[in-house]
Amino acid sequence: MAVIPAAALLAGAGLVVAQQAAKKRRTSPVGYSDTPVLPGQKWKVHDIDRPRPKMVTPGARPGDPPSDAIVLFDGKDLSKWYVEDKKSRELKPATWKVGDGYFEATPGAGTLVSREKFGDAQFHVEWSAPTEITGDSQWRGNSGFLIMNRYEIQVLDCWDNPTYADGQAASIYGQWPPLANACRKPGEWQSYDIVFEAPKFEGGKLMQPGYATVFHNGVLMHNRKEITGRMAHRVVGTYAPHETEEPLALQDHDVAVRYRNIWVRRVMGYDRP
């Protein structure tokens, strides 16, 4: 039998004691009431009385809707949408073509308008441009994510397709170019994640402009960028008063752009207790 030196035995015992200490459950107060008040807030640092955020179960995979999202397309039908007649502007049941897990802008059918209305919100949308290229510049994969049916985050195939900067994919159309061109190839699915702060009106006057934060395929495009008015072509878009909540719309620009996985979370005010 091998003889184990006493020093090695002692070192081994020390290791066991250390491991037991590491396994010991450590506790911490769930809050404090003897801490200073935070500047500009009514709460103390680590305030025990401060309401805790609500639980939201995230989607199973990145891009999936979290538990409190309003899903506007479930992969099967367009029951959450109308289509706006191009001439009469009358709202009718949506007629865009629905495929396997996606739907497609149907040239001439009219803009798709959500039945539900939204103001301050977080949006997620996925889109893909047609693989068959039949035009250039603004005639390649043009559609649009029209927040409040008037503020456009441009949808455009910008893969090797020069166009004016404030009309590129993820631009605030006609106002602000995106910070980068992160376009994927035609036919590949792309995502927009948008935080939108609706403009505020009082007595018909603009009290606060709208703001948009936009990610394209996870790349930052706008960081709380001020929107200067409604979407307009070749003129400066201005504000006109509207409701605090308005429908989301997807532009029919006569190009068969595909969409899937569209969801919204109402985010009221951005204030937290």
Contact residues: Mg ion, CB under 5 A? 142, 144, 251
Nearer to Mg ion, 69 or 154 (CB): 154
Nearer to Mg ion, 144 or 178 (CB): 144
d(CA 206, CA 188): 39
Nearer to Mg ion, 149 or 251 (CB): 251
Nearer to Mg ion, 31 or 177 (CB): 177
Cβ at position 201, least distance to Mg ion in Å? 25
- As beta bridge partners, residue 44 has 37
Cβ at position 138, least distance to Mg ion in Å? 8
Nearer to Mg ion, 170 or 198 (CB): 170
- Those residues whose C-beta lies under 8 Å from the C-beta of residue 224, and which sit 6 or more positions away, are 195, 197, 211, 212, 213
Cβ at position 23, least distance to Mg ion in Å? 59
Residue in the shown chain whose Cβ atom is closest to Mg ion: 144
Cβ at position 48, least distance to Mg ion in Å? 50
Cβ at position 68, least distance to Mg ion in Å? 29
